[in-house]
Amino acid sequence: MDEFSFINSIKQNSYKQPSLVKGIGDDAAVFRSEKDIVTAVDTFVEGIHFSRETMSPFQTGYRALAANISDLAAMGAMPAFYLVSVVIPKTWTLKEVEEIFSGMKELARYDHMDLIGGDTVSGSELSISITVIGLVEKGMARFRHTAQPGDHVFVTGTLGDARAGLHILTDKTSSYINSSYFVKRHQMPSPRSTFAVSLAGIDRITLNDVSDGIGNEANEIAESSDVTITLYDENIPVSDDFQQFPPSFQQEWKYFGGEDFELLGTVAEENWDALARIANDTGTQLTKIGFVSEAEKEPSVYVIIDNRKTRLDKNGYTHLK
Amino acid sequence: MDEFSFINSIKQNSYKQPSLVKGIGDDAAVFRSEKDIVTAVDTFVEGIHFSRETMSPFQTGYRALAANISDLAAMGAMPAFYLVSVVIPKTWTLKEVEEIFSGMKELARYDHMDLIGGDTVSGSELSISITVIGLVEKGMARFRHTAQPGDHVFVTGTLGDARAGLHILTDKTSSYINSSYFVKRHQMPSPRSTFAVSLAGIDRITLNDVSDGIGNEANEIAESSDVTITLYDENIPVSDDFQQFPPSFQQEWKYFGGEDFELLGTVAEENWDALARIANDTGTQLTKIGFVSEAEKEPSVYVIIDNRKTRLDKNGYTHLK
C-alpha cells in the first residue's frame, strides 16, 4: 500500500454529521453547532498503552477511539467528530496503520462520527493521538463537581472485566471460562454514549467514566464535589464468571482495573426512578452501589466490606485488605 | 520538578475566552459559540520536525503552536483554544517539558487562547500533538477551492526566511548578515492571524498558509479550485538580506523552503484595494505575485523567470533551473 492509497483509505467519501461544513481537505475542518461543544484528547503509545501481543491493529484503533468517546459520554455529550495524529515507525506498515484507522472507523460508523482531520508523521515508536468533539444541549454538560449529599451513587455495566481480559491475554498458562467475553471487554470496549445522552431529561447528574477504575473515579468526584462517597462492596457489579479469578485479583480489578469505560455517577433520590427507566430503555445495566454524604474533614471515599468501613484511596487496593 | 508542580505549571488560573464553559479539570472541556468552529491537529516529533540543536524547548513549543495557529489563519479563523498531547521520553526532564508549554503559553497569551485539554504520556521519543480550535463568523471560513480566473495572487511577508534561518543554525562554517532575524523566523514564526481575521469584509478570498512553501501551496489552490496559477519570479518577496545566500538556495527556499507561515491567497480584482487597505491597517506586508486563469488540460502552477514560463511542480525546485 502506497501513501496515496493510504490517504484514500482513511478519507471518508461522505459525512454523517449535518453540522459539518468542511471535513478533511483544507488547512482545517469547519463545523457549526447550536449546541455546546465538548472536546478532549488522549494519546496511546505502543508498549505503554497497548501491545501487538494482546491487540490487533484494528482493535488498537477501535479501543483508542472508544476511550475517547467514553470521555464524551462522561460529559453527557453525543460523539460527533474526531481528529487523529499518528506517529508511524518503520516497524509498522501502512497497511497495518490503515487497519488502525479501520478499527476507529468501525466504531465511528456506529456512533455517526466523522473523521475531520489528522496528521501522519514518521517517528521511532507508534503513537496515536485522538481528539474527539461531541455535542451536548446548551448547559447540559455533566461535570464531576455536582454531586450532593443524599445522592445515590451508581455505575453502569460490570467492573473489572477489561482488566480480566488483559490477564487472560497475557497469562498463557491457564485456561478460563468465557474468556472471549473478557477479552472483548479489553480489546473492543463499548462506551456508554447512548445511555449518557439519554439522560438529558434529568437536571443534575454527576458523571465520570471508568477509565482508571472506580477507586480513582469516585475519589475524583468526591474531591471535585467536596463530598464523601461510601460504596458497598457487595453491590459492586461484576460479571457472572468473574469469581473464577483469585479473590485478591477480583478486589483489585473491580476497584482499580480500569478501562471498563463504564460510567460512575451520582443522582438525587427523586431522580432515581427516571434514571432506572432510562437504563432499562437503553438496555443498560444500572446498579446502585453507594451514597453521597457531607465531607467531614476532607472529601473521601469509603467502601463497606463485611460491615467494616475502609478508606478507598486513589491508585491502590492495599487498603482493601 | 515533580508531576504535581508540572501540572500546576501548565494549568491556567483563569480563562481568556468568554465562550469557554469548562476548561481543564473534567473528562473533557466545554465551550459554546455562535460562530463556525474551525479545528486542526498537527504533530511534531523530535529529530523529524525539530531538534534540540537548533531550538530550545521554549522555542519548540512556541513554533509548534504557531504552525497550528497558522492553519487557523489560513481559514480566516480567530484562534481560541488548544489541546496538547505530549509523549515524554526519559531523556527529557519535566522542567524541559514545562518550558515547551511555556513557549506555547507565550504565544497563546498574545492570541488570547486558552489551553483546554491535554495528555502527557511516557514513550521513547518526544512528540507534541496540538489540536487548535478557532472561531470564524458563520459561512466566512476561507477555503482553497474558491480561486477564480481573473483573481490576483498575493502573499504576505517575505518567503524563504525560515529556511534560511535553519541553514544559519546548522551551517557552523560561515557567518551571515542579520542572522538573528532569519533565525527568529525559523524558531519563533508569527502566524498571520490578525490579517486573516481582518479580511472578514471581503466576500471571497482564497487562503493557504505557507507551511510547505508556495510551490506546494499554489499547487494545492490550483488543484482545489481547478485553475491555473501563474507567478512572477521577480515579484516573489524576499527580505533585504536574502541575496547573501547562494542563488540556487534562494530559489529553492523561496518556493519550497516552507514554514514561513505567511499566507498565500487569491482575491478578485475589485477587492484588491480593500485587501491592500487591510494589509496597511494591520501592518502586513502584502505583495501581488501573480494571477489566476482558467485551467487548460489540468490545474497547474507556472512561474515566469526572465520572460520564460516554467511549470512549478509540487515538492521540487529542479524545474526552475
pLDDT tens figures, B108-131: 999 999 999 988 999 999 999 999
User: Tell me, what's the pLDDT at B314?
Assistant: 82
pLDDT band at A317 (very low <50, low <70, confident <90, very high): very low
* Model confidence at B306: pLDDT above 70: yes
**A82/A16 Cα distance (integer angstroms):** 12
Q: What proportion of chain B, given as a percentage, has pLDDT over 90? A: 86
Chain B CA closest to residue A128: B129
* Model confidence at B318: pLDDT above 50: no
Q: What proportion of chain A, given as a percentage, has pLDDT over 90? A: 86
pLDDT band at A1 (very low <50, low <70, confident <90, very high): low
**CATH, range B152-320:** 3.90.650.10
User: Tell me, what's the pLDDT at A4?
Assistant: 66
* Model confidence at A316: pLDDT above 60: no
Whether residues B36 and A42 touch (CB distance < 8 A) is answered with no
Q: What is the pLDDT of residues A195-210, one digit of tens each?
A: 999 999 999 999 999 9
In the block, cell 485553475 appears at B227
**Region A254-264 average pLDDT:** 95
Distance in Å, alpha carbon of A234 to nearest chain B alpha carbon: 28
B21: CB partners within 8 A, 6+ apart: A36, A141, B30, B31, B32
CA distances in angstroms from B319 to A129, A294, B232, B313, B314, listed in the order given: 38, 75, 15, 7, 10
* Model confidence at B317: pLDDT above 70: no
CB A114 within 8 A of CB A178: no
User: Tell me, what's the pLDDT at A7?
Assistant: 72
* Model confidence at B81: pLDDT above 80: yes
Chain A CA closest to residue B209: A27
**CATH, range B3-136:** 3.30.1330.10
* Model confidence at A103: pLDDT above 70: yes
pLDDT band at B10 (very low <50, low <70, confident <90, very high): confident
User: Tell me, what's the pLDDT at B258?
Assistant: 87
* Higher-pLDDT residue of B12, B145: B145
User: Tell me, what's the pLDDT at B91?
Assistant: 94
Q: Do strands A308-311 and B20-22 pair parallel, antiparallel, or not at all (unpaired)? A: unpaired
A319 in a labelled binding site: no
**Closest Cβ–Cβ partner in A123, A134, A224 for B127:** A123
pLDDT band at B164 (very low <50, low <70, confident <90, very high): very high
pLDDT band at A142 (very low <50, low <70, confident <90, very high): very high
Mean pLDDT is lowest, of A14-18, A196-200, A240-244, B130-134, for: A14-18
User: Tell me, what's the pLDDT at A320?
Assistant: 43
* Higher-pLDDT residue of B6, A115: A115
User: Tell me, what's the pLDDT at B7?
Assistant: 73
The H or E element containing residue A154 is strand A152-156
pLDDT band at A318 (very low <50, low <70, confident <90, very high): very low
Select from A20, A41, A42 the residue whose CB has the most chain B CBs within 10 Å, as the one to mutate to test that interface.
A41
Distance in Å, alpha carbon of A27 to nearest chain B alpha carbon: 5
Chain A CA closest to residue B71: A27
Q: What is the pLDDT of residues A73-101, one digit of tens each?
A: 999 999 999 999 999 999 999 999 999 99
Ordered by start, the domain boundaries in chain B are: 3-136, 152-320
Whether residues A43 and B129 touch (CB distance < 8 A) is answered with yes
CA distances in angstroms from A212 to A127, A255, B96, listed in the order given: 20, 9, 27
* Higher-pLDDT residue of A181, B318: A181
pLDDT band at B172 (very low <50, low <70, confident <90, very high): confident
Residues from chain B contacting residue A39 (CB–CB below 8 Å): 28-29, 31, 81, 83, 116-117, 131, 133
User: Tell me, what's the pLDDT at B213?
Assistant: 92
A306 in a labelled binding site: no
* Model confidence at A161: pLDDT above 80: yes
Chain B CA closest to residue A221: B26
Whether residues B28 and A116 touch (CB distance < 8 A) is answered with no
**Closest Cβ–Cβ partner in A40, A127, A138 for B32:** A138
The H or E element containing residue A22 is strand A20-22
**Region B254-268 average pLDDT:** 95
Cα B241 vs. chain centroid, distance in angstroms?
A: 22
Whether residues B141 and A21 touch (CB distance < 8 A) is answered with yes
Chain A with chain B: Cβ pairs closer than 8 A: 189
Select from B68, B90, B129 the residue whose CB has the most chain A CBs within 10 Å, as the one to mutate to test that interface.
B129
**A257/B112 Cα distance (integer angstroms):** 40
User: Smallest Cα–Cα separation from A318: which of A273, A218, A251?
Assistant: A251
Chain A CA closest to residue B126: A123
* Model confidence at B4: pLDDT above 70: no
pLDDT band at A321 (very low <50, low <70, confident <90, very high): very low
**Region A167-188 average pLDDT:** 94
Q: What is the average pLDDT value for chain B, to the nearest integer?
A: 93
pLDDT band at B321 (very low <50, low <70, confident <90, very high): very low
Residues from chain A contacting residue B147 (CB–CB below 8 Å): none
User: Tell me, what's the pLDDT at A319?
Assistant: 42
Q: What is the average pLDDT value for chain A, to the nearest integer?
A: 93
If one counts every other C-beta atom within 10 angstroms of the C-beta of residue B234, the result is 9
Distance in Å, alpha carbon of B192 to nearest chain A alpha carbon: 14
Domain B3-136 shares a fold with domain B152-320:
no
A18: CB partners within 8 A, 6+ apart: none
Q: What is the pLDDT of residues B137-149, one digit of tens each?
A: 999 999 999 999 9
**B189/B167 Cα distance (integer angstroms):** 15
* Model confidence at A172: pLDDT above 90: no
A178: CB partners within 8 A, 6+ apart: A240, A241
**B312/B233 Cα distance (integer angstroms):** 11
User: Smallest Cα–Cα separation from B115: which of B68, B83, B79?
Assistant: B83
ipTM above threshold 0.90: yes
* Higher-pLDDT residue of A208, A318: A208
Distance in Å, alpha carbon of A44 to nearest chain B alpha carbon: 8
* Model confidence at A170: pLDDT above 90: yes
Whether residues A85 and B129 touch (CB distance < 8 A) is answered with yes
Classify each residue of B194-221 as buried b or exposed e, where b means 16 or more C-beta atoms within 10 Å of its C-beta: bbbbbbeebeebbbbbbbbbbbbbbbbb
CB B46 within 8 A of CB B91: no
